[in-house]
Amino acid sequence: MSDSIRFILNGEDITLSSLRPTETLLDFLRLQRRLTGTKEGCAEGDCGACTVLVGRLIDGGLYYESVNACIRFVGSLHATHVVTVEHLAAQNGTLHPVQQAMVDCHGSQCGFCTPGFIMSLYGLWLSTEKPSRAQIEKSLQGNLCRCTGYEPIVKAAEQVSQKRPSALFDPLEKTRADIIARLWAMQGGDTIEIAEGADRLIVPGSVAALAQVLADEPKATVVAGSTDVGLWVTKQMRRLNPVVFINHLTDLQRISVEDDGLSIGAGVTYSRAFAVIAEKIPAFANLINRIGGEQVRNMGTIGGNIANGSPIGDTPPPLIALGATVKLRSTAGTRSLPLEDFFIEYGKQDRHPGEFVEGIFVPYPASDAHFAVYKISKRRDEDISAACGAFHLSLDTAGNVQDIRIAFGGMAGTPKRARSVEAELIGKPWTEATVTAARDAFDSDYTPLSDWRASAEYRQLTAKNLLIRFYLETAGAPQELKRFATAEA
Ligand SMILES: Cc1cc2nc3c(=O)[nH]c(=O)nc-3n(C[C@H](O)[C@H](O)[C@H](O)COP(=O)(O)OP(=O)(O)OC[C@H]3O[C@@H](n4cnc5c(N)ncnc54)[C@H](O)[C@@H]3O)c2cc1C
Ligand code: FES
Ligand code: FES
């Protein structure tokens, strides 16, 4: 057992044996270290003003990713390297090429968002030698600027990648070997526990230790990426105690490509899952690129998206449509169940006291099946779904519906299958007449709510029209049906 969190901040080793479980990295940087280059805009992961890089060892390599310091807890930083904007310029004041490009391209006006943009662009600069326009835009999805209109910032990113200076100029490239050695020395299998008054934070040394901690403390708050839990603290001012951090547990971060599907550990972040999912289930990967911004995808996990039980989480609908199973673990052992059965009702999941999500298994769509996911939100990027629907269809050789699984988020108190619609379709020819007749069965499956994202009527009509859209995409697009879909969309 250890009693301190250790990490590197820019060049300095930090050891903390006194720490509130929900101390955010942003408060730590600004209030305790006076590193005020990192700004607070929204305190909810949306604006990117607080962006810093966090480096960690993965399979022996050191990887830096942009994160939102406002919703990242210090307790989750053990054995990492935190890099803030103050670390970029040389000691003689010479700006880093990324900073200089922002100056040259007039990428800053009032300047409030600028450190956050710099850190996102720096993360891209470190990971991608010649980024495409799409890669640049993706890296900036989680940064908002109200002054520049973005074009000068994108130009700065293009400029710096064209005239890429020697890696020797870069503070992180120069110190890479040293940082790796220091992070190695900080790692270890010990469980860390810090008590601050009555509050406790626990960093289990292994998955078995996590199971034991939760057996002893079944009401503890598990924190993976903190992209949900962070907001409970910064927006709802909730006091959480004890808090158990799991984002460092490498045994929860494995993805295995199996013959019939993907096995994804609960601690795998969206960014880390992306490449494998893009190769195996491309339609699902397109959805992942629309979850939050880059910083949120670098922290958030699919395990957290399931465990939070939210009716508007984006990954459960496609996972349910694909027939995914969730694996739960406790000191009593492990059990697997179909993901759709995990969600019992709003706020209630089939999770026994002391259990945690260990991983999910996602079967591949059959090679002759059709699979599609549609996210409907007010903005394309960085927005929560009003509704998210997934369709998984198999046809027999005669063109009849052999099997179809349809699941929606945003339409009920849980992510849920549209069983009445499915029943209307199965065994019938996959035709315009069949889907048109089946669409009203959504009224039996769902009674959505009206809220500020969408009205109940909008959601219900959206679900019906998405069925039509799925039909059009899978069966060609007869003119008649095209008009019908457009008129109501
Ligand atoms: C700016 C922003 C944009 C977002 N955009 C989207 C979006 O587009 N679509 C979307 O679906 N979500 C979105 N989210 C929500 C969030 O990113 C996701 O729900 C994410 O998957 C949560 O994962 P996490 O690892 O951060 O979970 P955490 O916040 O760490 O935890 C979430 C919940 O799950 C529990 N938990 C986590 N892991 C486990 C485990 N292994 N076992 C048991 N319990 C566990 C926690 O106790 C908590 O109750 C957004 C969030 C932010 C801040
Ligand atoms: S302050 Fe806006 S994302 Fe952190
Ligand atoms: S320069 Fe003013 S918000 Fe971006």
CATH code (residue 443): 3.30.465.10
Same-domain pairing of 167 and 276: no
- How remote is the CA of residue 383 from the centroid of ligand 2, in Å? 15
Residue 147 near ligand 3, beta carbon < 6 Å: yes
Q: What residues flank ligand 1, with Cβ below 6 Å?
A: 44-46, 71, 221-229, 246, 266, 291-292, 296, 299-301, 303-305, 307-308, 313-314, 356-357, 382, 384
- How remote is the CA of residue 182 from the centroid of ligand 1, in Å? 30
Last residue within a domain, chosen from 187, 215, 240: 187
For residues 251 and 381, the model is more confident at 251
Last residue within a domain, chosen from 187, 217, 240: 187
Per the structure, the complete domain to which residue 8 belongs is given by 1-187
Helix (H, G, I), strand (E, B) or coil at 155: helix
pLDDT in tens, 154-207: 999 999 988 777 777 799 999 999 999 999 999 988 999 999 788 999 999 999
Residue 482 pLDDT > 60: no
Rounded to two decimals, what is the model's pTM? 0.96
Q: What is the pLDDT of residue 273?
A: 97
Q: What is the pLDDT of residue 476?
A: 65
- Indicate whether 231 belongs to any domain: no
The ligand placed nearest to the CA atom of residue 269 is: 1
Same-domain pairing of 14 and 101: yes
Q: What is the pLDDT of residue 367?
A: 87
What's the average model confidence in pLDDT over 72-101? 96
pLDDT in tens, 240-266: 999 999 999 999 999 999 999 999 999
Q: What is the pLDDT of residue 483?
A: 43
Query: CA–CA separation, 136 vs 123, rounded Å?
Result: 11
Same-domain pairing of 276 and 180: no
Query: CA–CA separation, 128 vs 161, rounded Å?
Result: 9
What's the average model confidence in pLDDT over 38-67? 96
Residue 487 pLDDT > 60: no
Same-domain pairing of 142 and 277: no
Same-domain pairing of 175 and 288: no
Residue 233 pLDDT > 60: yes
Same-domain pairing of 169 and 71: yes
Other C-beta atoms within 10 Å of 121: how many?
Answer: 29
- How remote is the CA of residue 132 from the centroid of ligand 3, in Å? 24
- How remote is the CA of residue 200 from the centroid of ligand 2, in Å? 26
What's the average model confidence in pLDDT over 75-79? 98
What's the average model confidence in pLDDT over 117-130? 95
Residue 146 near ligand 3, beta carbon < 6 Å: yes
Query: CA–CA separation, 156 vs 179, rounded Å?
Result: 28
Which ligand 3 atom lies nearest to the CA of residue 117? 4
What's the average model confidence in pLDDT over 143-147? 97
Closest CA to 321 of 394, 256, 430, 400: 394
What's the average model confidence in pLDDT over 17-32? 97
Q: In what order do the strands lie in the sheet with 221-223?
A: 192-196, 199-203, 243-245, 221-223
The ligand placed nearest to the CA atom of residue 153 is: 3
- How remote is the CA of residue 380 from the centroid of ligand 3, in Å? 21
The ligand placed nearest to the CA atom of residue 145 is: 3
What's the average model confidence in pLDDT over 263-275? 97
Query: CA–CA separation, 323 vs 318, rounded Å?
Result: 9
pLDDT-derived band at 312 (thresholds 50, 70, 90) equals very high
Q: What residues flank ligand 2, with Cβ below 6 Å?
A: 40-43, 45-50, 68, 70
Which ligand 1 atom lies nearest to the CA of residue 305? 21
Residue with tokens 């526990």: 193
Query: CA–CA separation, 64 vs 237, rounded Å?
Result: 30
pLDDT-derived band at 60 (thresholds 50, 70, 90) equals confident
pLDDT-derived band at 488 (thresholds 50, 70, 90) equals very low
Query: CA–CA separation, 109 vs 106, rounded Å?
Result: 7
Quote the number of domains for the chain: 2
- How remote is the CA of residue 224 from the centroid of ligand 1, in Å? 8
Same-domain pairing of 179 and 259: no
What's the average model confidence in pLDDT over 73-89? 98
- How remote is the CA of residue 126 from the centroid of ligand 2, in Å? 22
Q: Report whether 51 contacts 122 (CB < 8 A).
A: no
Residue with tokens 């880059």: 294
Q: What is the mean pLDDT of the chain?
A: 94
Q: What is the pLDDT of residue 190?
A: 93
- How remote is the CA of residue 110 from the centroid of ligand 3, in Å? 5
Which range among 112-126, 306-320, 464-478 shows the weakest confidence by mean pLDDT?
464-478
CATH no. for residue 129?
3.10.20.30
Same-domain pairing of 275 and 163: no
Residue 478 pLDDT > 80: no
Residue 110 near ligand 3, beta carbon < 6 Å: yes
Residue 481 pLDDT > 60: no
Q: Give one DSSP letter per residue of 262-326, joined into a string.
A: EEEETT-BHHHHHHHHHHH-HHHHHHHTTSS-HHHHHH-BHHHHHHT--TT-SSHHHHHHHT-EE
Same-domain pairing of 153 and 269: no
For residues 166 and 3, the model is more confident at 3
Residue 106 near ligand 3, beta carbon < 6 Å: no
- Indicate whether 222 belongs to any domain: no
- Indicate whether 81 belongs to any domain: yes
Percent of the chain whose pLDDT exceeds 90: 91
Same-domain pairing of 160 and 283: no
Q: What is the pLDDT of residue 327?
A: 98
Strand 243-245 to strand 199-203: parallel, antiparallel, or no bridges (unpaired)? parallel
- Indicate whether 197 belongs to any domain: no
How far, CA to CA in Å, does 473 sit from each of 105, 394, 476, 484? 42, 14, 6, 14
Task: Name the residue with the closest Cα to ligand 2, atom 3.
Answer: 45
- Indicate whether 210 belongs to any domain: no
Q: Report whether 414 contacts 343 (CB < 8 A).
A: yes
